Structure 1
Amino acid sequence: MVIPVYMVTQEAYSDRDVYGWDRDYSDHPSGDSYRNSYESYSNSHSAPATRGPPPSYGGVVLVRWNEPYQKLATCDADGGIFVWIQYEGRWSVELVNDRGAQVSDFTWSHDGTQALISYRNGFVLVGSVSGQRHWSSEINLESQITCGIWTPDDQQVLFGTADGQVIVMDCHGRMLAHVLLHQFDGILSMSWNYPIFLVEDSSESDTDSDDYSPPQDGPAAYPIPIQNIKPLLTVSFTSGDISLMNNYDDLSPTVIRSGLKEVVAQWCTQGDLLAVAGMERQTQLTELPNGPLLKSAMVKFYNVRGEHIFTLDTLVQRPIISICWGHRDSRLLMASGPALYVVRVEHRVSSLQLLCQQAIANTLREDKDVSKLTLPPRLCSYLSTAFIPTIKPPIPDPNNMRDFVSYPSAGNERLHCTMKRTEDDPEVGGPCYTLYLEYLGGLVPILKGRRVSKLRPEFVIMDPRTDSKSATMTWMPRVILNHTVGLFRRSFIHLH
C-alpha cells in the first residue's frame, strides 16, 4: 500500500515567521509591515513542505477552536500560544505568540474576529484573528486572573480573579467596573448559556451523530433552540458553588451547591442544560473487584433555573479536567487524564425502543453478538447502532506501532511524515536524519539514515529503535477511547 507523504524538516522553521500579538510595533505604528510579513507566512500554501512544526515548548494546557475561521489555538504551560490552520488535511502553525508568562485563559469573540488573552500576572490583551494587537493593559491586582470571557455582544470583556472579583472592561480597553462576587471564594471559570460562535448552520444536519436512526416519535428528535431568553452569566467558584447571574452586577443570583470540587461547567449549545463535572467533596473510595481503590467523579445536570435534573456517577482515577458538548447536544465528551469518555444524552423521555436497545447492548457487549439474536433484520440493524463509537479514528496499538506504520488502515486518510536532523556525530561521519510518522500529536520513528559519501548519493538506512538516542523519542498515545455511556445507565464501561 502506498502512503501519501509530505516531507517536512524542522530546520525550515525560523523566528522571522512567528510574529504574534506581542510583536513590538514601535517602528510601524500602523502595523502594515507586520501584517505583510504575517500574510506572506500564512498564505504560503503552494509549498506546504517548506514549513515545519514549531519548536517544543511545555505541555498543552488550553485549546480553543475558532469555528468561523476554522482555526485552532493552543496554549502551553510556558505561555506559548500557537494558532493552527488546516491545509490539505494537515495542520500547520500560522502564528506564534510568546510572552514568557503563563496564560490563564484564551477566548475567541463570538464572531471569531478577535482573541482575548489573559495572563496570570495581570496582563490582558485583545488582538485580531490575523495576529494584530488591538489593545493591551496591565491590571494591578494582589491576586491572579483566572479566566476571561466576552459578553454576548462582544462589546465588553470580563475577567475573573482568584480572590472572587470580576473586572469589566469595554472592547477598547477602558476600565468599567470592579465587582466583588465572593470575599472568600476564588473564581475558576465564567461562561454564558449562549452560542459560543454566531455562524449559520448550513452544513450540519440531524444525521451528524454516528449512531443516528430515523426518529420514532416525529421530527423533533433534537432540542429546539431557546428563543428570547436573556443570557445567563455562569460563574464557577473554587468551593464548587456556581452562580447563575443576569449580569455581573446581579444582586440576587441563583446559586447551585454542586457539592463537588475541581468543578468544570459548560452549557449545551441550546443553552437549557448545564453540565457540571467534578470530584465528590466527601470522597468515598470504591473498591473494584479486580483493581485498586478509585476516586469517584460525578457529572450533574441543571436547567436554567438551577434545578438539579440528573446525576451521572462514574469511576475514574483522575479528576475530569474538561468537558465539551457535541453532535447537536446529544453527546457530552469528558477528558480525565489520558482518557476520553463519551456520554450519550437524551433531552427527552427515552422511548421504550431506545431503552430496550441500551439494555440489550449492555448484555451483548460486542457488535458481533447481534447476529446471534433471532430478531428481524430491521431491529438487528437498529441494535447495531448502539455499538457505533462517536469518535472513530484508527487508534493504533501502542505495543504494535510498526504494523500500524507499515500497514495503514483502509480509507482515504492521508498520513504525513516529518524528517528531523539529529546532531552531527563524528563517529558516524556526518549528520543523521530520522523519518517520523505524525499521528495524534506524536511522532512514530520509521527509518533512520545517514549519508556515507559526499561524492555519490549513498546512504545507510537503519532501524531507529537500534539507536539509544532515537529510542527515547518513542510515541505514546495521549488519548484512550471507550465505548459510549448512556446518560440513563448507571453502569460504567471501562476503557479499551
Structure 2
Amino acid sequence: MLAAVEHGPILCSDSNILCLSWKGRVPKSEKDKPVCRRRYYEEGWLATGNGRGVVGVTFTSSHCRRDRSTPQRINFNLRGHNSEVVLVRWNEPFQKLATCDMEGGIFVWIQYEGRWSVELVNDRGAQVSDFTWSHDGTQALIAYRDGFVLVGSVSGQRHWSSEINLESQISCGIWTPDDQQVLFGTADGQVIVMDCHGRMLAHVLLHESDGIVSMSWNCPDFLVEDSTESDADSDDNVLPLVRRVKPLLTVTFLSGDISLMSNYDDLSPAVIRSGLKDVEAQWCSQGDLLAVAGMERHGPPVDSACSSVTRNALVKFYNVQGEHIYTLETPAQRPITTICWGHRDSRLFLACGPALYVVRVEHRVASLQLLCQQGIASALREEKDVGKLNMPSLLCSYVTTAFIPTIKVR
C-alpha cells in the first residue's frame, strides 16, 4: 500500500478541530431511492466540530478533475452550541447529523431545501462520553460519563435508559454489528454488555491498569442498501465493497495498545503495540485496514537545552491479524485529535489542532507511475510549476492531479 499527505496549502480553522465525520453525497435524483454506495462515495460531506462551538459541513470530492461540477454552496457553519463541539456523527440512512458539545448538549440536524436546521435537542446537563447510531440508523446510543446510558429512536423517542453504578467513568459506547447488544468501555479497563432492551448481560475486566479510550468493529458503520448497479460503473482503482473479513472488536487503551478480539470475552486477543501516545484508531469501511494515529512515544527528550528536537505525528496501518503494514510520517508536530476515513477508503482525514490534513491512500501495491507522480509533486512547490517541466502534456496533466484538493474551498 501507499499513503501520502495531499499536496497543496494546509487547511486551517479559526480554532482547534476536535472531531470529524464523513458521509457520501446522495444525488438529488436519488433522494427517494435506495442508496447506492458505488455512485455516491466519490463525493461527500465532511463534518467538523471545533473549539468555538461551531459545526462545519464541507463538500469533498475524490474525482481529481477540475471539470467536475460542485454544489452551489460547498460550506456550511452550523451554530447553536454554547461550548466546544466534541462529537459529530453522521446518520447515513436518514441523512441526519448528530453533534454533542462539552456541556452535554446534543443537537440533531437535518437539511431541507439547501438549509440546515435543528430537528432535535437533548440536554441532560452532564458530559457525553459517546454517541453512536445503530447500523440501520433507526436508533441512537448515548453514554454519559456519570454512568447514565440511553437508547432512543432516530425521531427522538426514548426506548430505554439505565443508571450504571461504577467507581470509574464510562469512556465509550458502541453497538454490536447486529444491533442486538450495546457495549460500554470504562476508564479502568472494564467492558459492560447490555442487550437491546437494557438488561445487563456481562461485566468483563479487560485490563487492570489500563483505561479504555475507544471501541469499534471492523465493519461498515451503516447497512446502506446497494442497488443492482454493475461493478463496471465503479472505479477500478478502489477495492470492492464486499466484506471478506470476520468482525473484530477493537479496543484502544490509554497506553497506546490495541486489542483485536473476536468478542468481548475473547481470552487470547491479538495485541498491537503501537508505540504511540494520544492514540486515535479507526478501521476503513472495508474492515481490512486499521489506521492508528499518534505521537512518537520514544525518542530524545525535548528540553530547554535541546529545543530544536521535535516529535512528529505518525499514522500506522495494520491488517486484521494486527500486523504492521505501513507507517506515514505527517507534517504535524502536535497530537492528532481525530481521524476519519472517507471516499471508499481512498482518503483519510487528520485533524491536528486547527490544521486539517488529507491523506491519499492506495490499498494495493503502488504502481511505478503513481510513485513517480508523488515524487515529482513532492519536488515541486506549486501546481503552476508542473507546466515548466519538459514532459508530454498527458504526463503533465497526470502530475497535476496530485495538486487537486479533496476538500473544496473557494
TM band (smaller chain): 0.7 to 0.9
The answer to whether the Cα contact below 8 Å between 1:259 and 1:281 also exists between their aligned partners in 2 is yes
Structure 1 residue 355, shift from structure 2 partner: 1.1
- Other-structure match for 2:159: 134
- Length, aligned pairs only: 331
Match of residue 351, structure 1, among 367, 389, 395: 367
Q: Are 1:390 and 2:406 counterparts?
A: yes
CA distance in 2, matches of 1:151, 1:81: 23
Q: How does 1:113-124 map to 2 (within 5 A)?
A: 113-124=138-149
Structure 1 residue 311, shift from structure 2 partner: 1.1
Q: Are 1:379 and 2:391 counterparts?
A: no
Q: 1:286 to 1:196 in 2, by over 3 A?
A: same
Q: 1:374 to 1:203 in 2, by over 3 A?
A: farther
Larger radius of gyration: 1
Q: TM-score, normalised by structure 1?
A: 0.63
Q: Are 1:110 and 2:126 counterparts?
A: no
CA distance in 2, matches of 1:278, 1:197: 26
Q: 1:301 to 1:370 in 2, by over 3 A?
A: same
- Other-structure match for 2:125: 100
Q: How does 1:88-487 map to 2 (within 5 A)?
A: 88-201=113-226, 220-225=236-241, 227-284=243-300, 294-394=310-410
Q: 1:165 to 1:376 in 2, by over 3 A?
A: same
Give the residue type in structure 2 aligned to 1:150. W
CA distance in 1, matches of 2:352, 2:335: 6
Give the residue type in structure 2 aligned to 1:240. G
Q: 1:206 to 1:323 in 2, by over 3 A?
A: farther
CA distance in 2, matches of 1:375, 1:262: 44
Structure 1 residue 373, shift from structure 2 partner: 2.1
Give the residue type in structure 2 aligned to 1:133. R
Give the residue type in structure 2 aligned to 1:99. R
In the alignment, structure 1 segments of 5+ residues that lack a partner are 1-52, 209-213, 395-496
The answer to whether the Cα contact below 8 Å between 1:260 and 1:279 also exists between their aligned partners in 2 is yes
CA distance in 2, matches of 1:59, 1:186: 24
CA distance in 1, matches of 2:357, 2:366: 21
Aligned-residue CA RMSD (Å): 2.5
Structure 1 residue 205, shift from structure 2 partner: 11
The answer to whether the Cα contact below 8 Å between 1:166 and 1:248 also exists between their aligned partners in 2 is yes
Structure 1 residue 118, shift from structure 2 partner: 0.2
- Other-structure match for 1:62: 87
Q: 1:355 to 1:54 in 2, by over 3 A?
A: closer
The answer to whether the Cα contact below 8 Å between 1:283 and 1:296 also exists between their aligned partners in 2 is no
- More deviation, 225-234/302-311: 225-234
The answer to whether the Cα contact below 8 Å between 2:243 and 2:287 also exists between their aligned partners in 1 is no
Structure 1 residue 227, shift from structure 2 partner: 3.8
Higher strand share: 2
Structure 1 residue 379, shift from structure 2 partner: 1.5
Q: How does 1:38-49 map to 2 (within 5 A)?
A: none
The answer to whether the Cα contact below 8 Å between 2:280 and 2:337 also exists between their aligned partners in 1 is yes
The answer to whether the Cα contact below 8 Å between 1:286 and 1:296 also exists between their aligned partners in 2 is no
Which structure has more relative contact order (CA 8 Å, sep 6+)? It is: 2
CA distance in 1, matches of 2:228, 2:408: 21
SS in 2 for 1:345: strand
- Other-structure match for 2:66: none
SS in 1 for 2:330: strand
Q: 1:231 to 1:60 in 2, by over 3 A?
A: same
CA distance in 2, matches of 1:358, 1:349: 14
Q: Deviations over 1:89-123 (max 9, x none)?
A: 22111111000000000000000000000000000
Structure 1 residue 315, shift from structure 2 partner: 3.8
Give the residue type in structure 1 aligned to 2:113. E
Q: TM-score, normalised by structure 2?
A: 0.76
- Other-structure match for 1:73: 98
Structure 1 residue 286, shift from structure 2 partner: 8.3
